[in-house]
Structure 1
Amino acid sequence: MDQTAKLAAALFKNTNNPALAWQLFKRILSSPISPSSPSHHRSILRSVPIISQILIDAKMFPELDSLHQLLLLQPLKGPNSPIVSLVTLLARSGLIHQAVSQFKSFRAQFPDDPPRVHTYNVLVEMCLRKNRVDCVMWLYKDMIFGGVDPETYTFNLLISALCDVGRVDDAQELFDKMPEKSCEPNEYTFAVLVRGYCRAGLAGKALIYLDEIKSRGFVPNRVVYNTLVASFCKYGHTDEAEKLVERMRDDGLSPDIVTFNSRISALCRAGKVLEASRIFRDMQIDVHLGLPRPNIVTYNLMLEGFCKEGMWDEVTTLVHAMKKKGDFMNLESYNIWLLGLIRKGKLLEARLVLEEMKKNSMEPSIYTYNIVIDGLCKNGMLFDAKRVMDTMRNNGVSPDTITYTTLVQGYSSKGKALQASTVLNDMTRNGCLPNIHTCNILLHSLMKEGKTSEAEKLLGKMNEKGYGLDTVTCNIVIDDLCFRGELDKAIEILNGMWSHGSAALGNLGNSYIALVDDTNNGKKCMPNLITYSTVISALCKADRLEEAKKKFAEMMNRDLLPDIAIYNTFIDSFCKKGKISSAFRVLKDMEKRGCNKSLQTYNSLILGLGKKNQIFEIYGLMDEMKERGIRPNVCTYNNFISCLCKVGRIEDASALLDEMLQKGVSPNIATFEILIKAVCEAGDLVVAQELFDIAHTTCGHKEPLYSLTFDELLAGEEIKEAEQLFKAALARNFDVEKFRYNELIEKLSKNEKLENASGILHMMIGKGYRFDPAAFMPVIDGLNREGNKHDADELAEMMMEMASDEKVANKSDMNKDKLSRGRRDDSGKGSWRTLVHRDDGSGIAARTLKRVEKGWGQGTISGMQQKTKESVDYWDGYG
């Protein structure tokens, strides 16, 4: 046995003891080279693949680096260097990072001795599998500079890499260089280019290569045709797809099930489910055309298409047919069906499907359960979602990160941050690690609910556990600071992110010291468009426009291009401040950068122009909106209606209301409040009543509409209509705080409608309202003038009772009851005590109250007052 065989045998013998094998190999390799036996040393180097594989299998990465360093010291270099074997093995084992790193080190030390093209091919192929296109480009350049001629196979790999990242023009350029390198393209080269152009949505260019394949004597295969067919179908070019199917037949290729499934899949993705269903039907029934029969993939594609379009009759029919075929209903079919039902909110049907799966011994997968849990959470059925997760566990399926994150999202969206925290704790206890997305959801929820201390603890844990705080985390914190008015602190963090990444959160204070992290990961956490948008919006709201403009300039200098949201923020701020010329300057810059006006842009401009009474310009904007297909919303109309009413063009404003109703834009309470107030101020109370009736139909019976219309009727001396409206408001148990009922009762009393005024008082008392006792005074005065002392005394007693109840209510904070006592005049003129002692020449009310007080020896009020006196004496005795 020669030396190479002996060493190999020794290494193989210690495969299960890699540490010993490594020590053996290292000792032999490190021994001095005898001039008389260089072949002996070369034989040792031939064992490099064996020891390399042993170390790779044992994941002894530091030892692999040491092996690399030892091999660099060996005399053999170039294609025969043992490092080439090591690098090739690392690449084929999926350790592409280590392979490329060691290869670059090798090339740096021996730049004039490149390996053979085969080594480059292996590295390029493995880089492609690991999606390391950056390494692929470096390897190609190294080949060229090293004078290594690529093969056709090499070019195919490189063209494929460029196509996969969407660089089809570069792929074409590389393809054109192939003849220069004496490399002729083969069928695979053309197939790769066809696929690249089709993925880029350039099926027309891809079609050119179909002709070139034939001109070079090759026969296109089904893969090329199927790729083209699918691409044309995807973009709605069904006629071209049909022609391609005919060309396949002319080339002696029968369209197979893949061809038809490609067509059906592409049509369903494009929403053309009816076209796909016609092809599906032909496959089922048209035997004479020799079409392939649908397989389970075909059925699932159609099922997914029908579910997405909500074609439930077709879904039911298809599912029945799939069940009838026996093996045509697999787990994927059930998942598609479940997902479709959940997305359409058909939760009961989804639950029945889940039960059916169990009945048919079809074990739901983690994906199945996650579909159901996600649907339940989005519909607010969190208790049911938790029960489904318990069922998962009972069935031996462990919840994964998606499961827990879905529940965290569900609780957070309902403002239940503490329950969301419990889910996160349960997640970690069960050995399922949350990701940064999970933590960010909970963090946002905690801050939204004002649980700052809990949010700080979570941030600390995120950093401690190494989840890597990202830009989203920083944005959540910045948004919360802006919301709480700590804008300067938010700006400080934004500025710090550029140099310190997420470590900028350390600027929040001592409680965040643990977050300070100067690692490279932290530095990658840079501000983005959302960061700047949040801060700029807060600055504008705080009327710090100059600072907002500076932040905008800073953002542009950092190569962060503004979007429509940021432009709208500035336009809206300028318009609200009446700086319409500044708003239009922003608009000009916005359109110059390719951002078109949105609905929000138009609404802000209409509001700004309305402040300046520029009616003609607003009509121009409304016309422009129609031309661009932007539909005005209720805010658009309200802004314009308000402007028209302000300048007295009430008829035009009413015409806009008609336009809203005709175009299906529902007016809101604000719309009618603007119009009713305007027509009432113009003295047209009849139109006001008509608008009030329309408002009922459109918005329903709303307290603000009743309140506004009542006050306007009262101001217009339409006492009878005001009285009817107020009684209707009482019948609906509206809060009467904003109604001027005192004035109504006084006007009725002065107009000798004492019975009506008294009726309103009794109605309010009977419904349990606690209102201003001063409302009694005009009626008491009126009854006394008529000589009706009995009824006057009765009302006076009620008034005194309500006044005493008011004291008790104020002590117990009962004024927050659902029914209000009514407004108080800050000057005190509305106070019942002021009215009692008023000097109007009659003194009737004062005399009435004195008379009532004398008769209070046995009444309810007497008892209440006595209790109060006893209470005071009792506590005074302990003074």
Structure 2
Amino acid sequence: MDERKKVVKVVLKNSKNPKLAWHLVKRVLSCSSFSKPTHIEHLVTITSRILAGAKMHEELHQLHKLLLSSHPHHIAHPSIISIVRVLAQLGHIDEAFSHFNSLRAQFPSLPLSLPFYNLLLRSTLQHSRPDLVTSLYTHMIASRVTPQTYTFNLLIHSLCHSRAFDHALQLFDKMSLKGCPPNEFTLALLVRGLCRAGHVQQALDLVNNNHNSTPIANRVVYNTLVSRLCRDERNDEAQKLVQRMSQQGLFPDVVTFNSRISALCRSGKVLEASRIFRDMQMDAELGLPRPNVVTFNLMLKGFCKQGMMEDARGLVDTMKKAGVFDTLRSYNIWLFGLVRNRELLEARFVLDEMVTKGFEPNAYTYNIMVDGLCRNHMLSDARELMDVMISNGVYPDTVTYSSLLHGYCSKGKVFEAKRLLHEMRRKGCQPNTYTCNTLLHSLWKEGRTQEAEEMLQKMNEKSYQPDTVTCNIVVNGLCRNGELDKASEIVSEMWTNGTTSLHKGNSFASLINSIGNASNCLPDGITYTTLINGLCRVGRLEEAKKWFIEMLAKNLCPDSVTYDTFIWSFCKQGKISSAFRVLKDMERNGCSKTLKTYNALIMGLGSKKQIFEIYGLMDEMREKGISPNICTYNNTINCLCEGGKEKEAISLLQEMLDKGITPNISSFKILIKAFCKSSDFKGASELFEVALSICGHKEALYSLMFNELLAGGQLFEAKQLFEASLDRYLALKNFMYKDLIGRLCQDDRLADANSLLHKLIDKGYGFDHASFMPVIDGLSKIGNKQQADELAKRMMELEFEDRPVDRTYQNVKRVVPGKLQKDGGRDWQDIVNRDGGGGVALKTLKRVQKGWGQGSISSLLSQSNDFLDY
């Protein structure tokens, strides 16, 4: 073995110890043992790979200098070029160009080959550095290196990547003049670039050009066009293009059909895609290609996306029989479909089946399951699955933790979310901006402004660059908290350098400072709509209009949500004509009416009792396929009831039930009030029974019906309903029970009033003790002093039990075991001095006090031990 081979072998042997290898190479290159340029170039290439792999760029520059200082130029130059070549191939583009520019500056007349330039061009494109292509091509022309068609293809690829399509097309036209006619690859690159940018018509025109210099389109070009046309829902044109392929002898292959199926599934036209798929399976005589595993996976994904789970299951069975359901990708698609459609139990069985059949789930597989469990609020199960994941050697990544963190935040468990974030960092899994945004949004939602501000500060410290979503979360949070001026300031600063806000006293200055230097943090339509919505909600319409004008000036097109905000605000203020002017502008700008639009207009028209116009809007909704929701019906029912058209309102209630829309408590409140207002208490009672059967035995329904019966003078029915409410231990807050007791006493129904009081006491309710006064007064007036004294005594006992014993027990209430604690009582001195407290009742209370031999109720505090012990 000669000396050269020995050195190379030793260097390769020490490739895992790059520093030692470098010292060895330095020693070898300093002597003259390597005389042939090819030998030196071979050694430098190997050394460059070792040093570049270890990111020892400083040593590579030393190698560059060593070659120039110790060897003649004709030996050094090829070796230095090999350094550039290795760095470019390994993706160290900046370092490669540093060496290249240094060599070019020292030896401007150094001849370089076309393959070398092509290598550099290709590497810059592969590593997304099209900015270097222009200077490279300029130097190539200046060095009088003649480009080939392959070179022009690289240049066109670069121009398309930079979306400079006009220049790409010009270069395409000039290629023939430069002696390098475009080939089918040139055309394919241009067509793909134009289609990706949405310029499909330009791509079609290019293919249809019959100029002699234009190459004939191949199958790749046609497949690209078919795919894009299908994506743009231009299916007829795609079909014609497929026919044209056949006429030109380019029979569509499975890629062509997969492109069509993929585009159709993506646009939701799964049935149309399935027809093509079925033809591929059945019509072999037509010469159609047979579906491959990609075709099956595309159809499976399409069925799952549209919730067609029975079709998906049938397809999975077909795939298993055909032996094509044998890839991890197929299992992941099926797993994702099951989770998406909330078939979590079956998804778990599929996960077990994967393991049984020898398919090891990867991080993506587990992330599908974790995300599905979290979205269904099964957080403990998601946590357990993470443990299983780790035990199987698959470690959670940022997506796993982000899904779990989002689950905690959606349940309002901010403490657990923050703890998970710390755990994530501790285990070496760095959060991304999405993770931080999720927690930030939750903090704002929970009203924890101080913690949100601290979170923003940490994001800046950890160099998590805030994006537009971050800013929108902050703007939304400030608007919710009523800090609209701060929100407006942030939106303004998002367009300029945020450092100017540091002197404005804005507590979010650190965020704005980051925003000002971030090109990806410009306001979008959501930013403006959020701010406009906040301003409209507090009635600052003029300011909202100014922001709307600025939004248009910034070429940000408002959407239906933005317009709906203004329409809702105008309708709420009763400015119906202004709302319809906004509606006209909305339709003129191509924004369709939404359910929210109709609901706002119906609410506004209802306030003006324009029922005919409301019916017109509801008919229009049906024509456009927009189904009314509970809000639509409630607004219409309210308008009908206010106009005295209860029967029409009842028919709307029936329509709701027929359409499967469940009325809520508000629906019945409106109707019950309307029936009681017209003194149809029988109809109101029937509605009340229906409401209980649909909404359940809610306090809001009982208190509403009770108060309406009482206001209508239906004392017997009101008393019965109140007793039923007590039997259900409903809260008394909204019941006008004191008025019932007073009315019963006025009608000389003292026994009924007295029984209600005793029922309240027996049920353990803490209630307003002023309710005793009319009963005590009534009993005293008819001479039943003994019963009046007993009732007064009981009143004071209850008042004493409800009073705080000391500061420690100032919130203590009387509670009966097994019963709900209700509204508390009041100080008896306040009660007897009310206008409602009769003089006779007051005398009775004073007489009872004297009978006890106590000077005041406060002197009884020492007897509170029985209550405290209990």
Give me the TM-score of the superposition, normalised by structure 1. Answer: 0.77
Counting only pairs closer than 5 Å after superposition, residues 261-660 of structure 1 correspond to structure 2 as: 261-277=258-274, 280=277, 294-323=291-320, 328-452=325-449, 454-501=451-498, 525-553=521-549, 555=551, 560-578=556-574, 593-608=589-604, 630-639=626-635, 642=638
Query: Offset at 1:379?
Result: 1.1
Q: Which residue of 2 aligns with 1:706?
A: 702
Q: Match of 1:380, as an amino acid?
A: H
User: SS at the partner of 1:812?
Assistant: coil
Query: Offset at 1:405?
Result: 1.6
* 1:772–1:832 Cα contact (<8 Å) kept: no
User: SS at the partner of 1:712?
Assistant: helix
Q: Which residue of 2 aligns with 1:820?
A: 822
Query: Offset at 1:170?
Result: 6.6
In 2: Cα distance, 1:642 partner to 1:654 partner: 11
In 2: Cα distance, 1:477 partner to 1:768 partner: 48
Distance 1:519 1:439, change over 3 A: closer
2:798 to 799, 802, 812: 802
Counting only pairs closer than 5 Å after superposition, residues 822-861 of structure 1 correspond to structure 2 as: 831=831, 834=834, 838-839=838-839, 843=840, 845=841
Query: Offset at 1:369?
Result: 1.1
Q: Which residue of 2 aligns with 1:726?
A: 722
Query: Offset at 1:727?
Result: 3.4
In 1: Cα distance, 2:334 partner to 2:313 partner: 10
373-382 or 630-639: which moved more?
630-639
Tell me whether 1:868 sits opposite 2:861 in the alignment: yes
In 1: Cα distance, 2:503 partner to 2:89 partner: 44
732-741 or 206-215: which moved more?
206-215
1:773 to 747, 762, 769: 769
User: SS at the partner of 1:831?
Assistant: helix
Query: Offset at 1:367?
Result: 1.1
Q: Which residue of 1 aligns with 2:125?
A: 128
Query: Offset at 1:175?
Result: 3.7
Query: Offset at 1:829?
Result: 12
* 1:163–1:171 Cα contact (<8 Å) kept: yes
Q: Match of 1:422, as an amino acid?
A: R
User: SS at the partner of 1:463?
Assistant: helix
Distance 1:518 1:169, change over 3 A: closer
Query: Offset at 1:374?
Result: 0.8
Q: Match of 1:343, as an amino acid?
A: R
In 1: Cα distance, 2:68 partner to 2:675 partner: 94
CA offsets 1:348-386 (integer angstroms, 9 cap, x no match) = 222222223333333211111111111111111111111
Q: Which residue of 1 aligns with 2:868?
A: none
* 2:803–2:812 Cα contact (<8 Å) kept: no
Q: Which residue of 1 aligns with 2:711?
A: 715
1:744 to 734, 740, 744: 740
CA offsets 1:369-417 (integer angstroms, 9 cap, x no match) = 1111111111111111111111111111111111112222121221122
Q: Which residue of 2 aligns with 1:35?
A: none
Counting only pairs closer than 5 Å after superposition, residues 106-125 of structure 1 correspond to structure 2 as: 121-125=118-122
Q: Gaps (5+ residues) in structure 2?
A: 866-870
User: SS at the partner of 1:329?
Assistant: coil
* 1:536–1:552 Cα contact (<8 Å) kept: yes
Distance 1:439 1:172, change over 3 A: same
In 2: Cα distance, 1:529 partner to 1:574 partner: 21
* 1:737–1:822 Cα contact (<8 Å) kept: no
Distance 1:226 1:517, change over 3 A: closer
In 1: Cα distance, 2:98 partner to 2:498 partner: 27
Distance 1:684 1:236, change over 3 A: same
CA offsets 1:540-559 (integer angstroms, 9 cap, x no match) = 44555555455555555555
Query: Offset at 1:188?
Result: 2.2
Q: Match of 2:831, as an amino acid?
A: S
Distance 1:489 1:589, change over 3 A: same
In 2: Cα distance, 1:429 partner to 1:250 partner: 63
CA offsets 1:194-214 (integer angstroms, 9 cap, x no match) = 545665678787677777799
Tell me whether 1:59 sits opposite 2:55 in the alignment: yes
In 1: Cα distance, 2:157 partner to 2:12 partner: 39
Distance 1:727 1:112, change over 3 A: farther
Q: Which residue of 2 aligns with 1:36?
A: none
In 2: Cα distance, 1:112 partner to 1:584 partner: 74
Query: Offset at 1:803?
Result: 2.7
In 1: Cα distance, 2:286 partner to 2:293 partner: 21
User: SS at the partner of 2:803?
Assistant: helix
Q: Which residue of 1 aligns with 2:810?
A: 811
CA offsets 1:291-330 (integer angstroms, 9 cap, x no match) = 6655444443343333333344444444445445667423
CA offsets 1:584-637 (integer angstroms, 9 cap, x no match) = 665566556554444434444555565566777766666665665554444345
Distance 1:248 1:496, change over 3 A: closer
1:677 to 673, 676, 688: 673
Query: Offset at 1:426?
Result: 1.6
Q: Match of 1:708, as an amino acid?
A: L
In 2: Cα distance, 1:652 partner to 1:471 partner: 49
User: SS at the partner of 1:434?
Assistant: coil
In 2: Cα distance, 1:616 partner to 1:489 partner: 44
Q: Match of 2:803, as an amino acid?
A: K
In 1: Cα distance, 2:564 partner to 2:99 partner: 52
Q: Match of 1:428, as an amino acid?
A: R
In 2: Cα distance, 1:270 partner to 1:555 partner: 30
* 2:41–2:82 Cα contact (<8 Å) kept: no
Q: Match of 1:821, as an amino acid?
A: D
Distance 1:796 1:567, change over 3 A: same
In 1: Cα distance, 2:335 partner to 2:514 partner: 47
CA offsets 1:513-544 (integer angstroms, 9 cap, x no match) = 98797899557644444444444444444555
Distance 1:700 1:178, change over 3 A: farther
Query: Offset at 1:236?
Result: 6.3
Q: Which residue of 2 aligns with 1:764?
A: 760
In 2: Cα distance, 1:26 partner to 1:548 partner: 74
In 1: Cα distance, 2:715 partner to 2:210 partner: 92
Query: Offset at 1:483?
Result: 3.6
In 1: Cα distance, 2:42 partner to 2:348 partner: 64
Q: Which residue of 2 aligns with 1:875?
A: none
Q: Which residue of 1 aligns with 2:149?
A: 152
In 1: Cα distance, 2:864 partner to 2:434 partner: 61
CA offsets 1:134-159 (integer angstroms, 9 cap, x no match) = 55577678888999875433443444
Give me the TM-score of the superposition, normalised by structure 2. Answer: 0.78
Identity %: 53
User: SS at the partner of 2:810?
Assistant: helix
Q: Match of 2:411, as an amino acid?
A: K
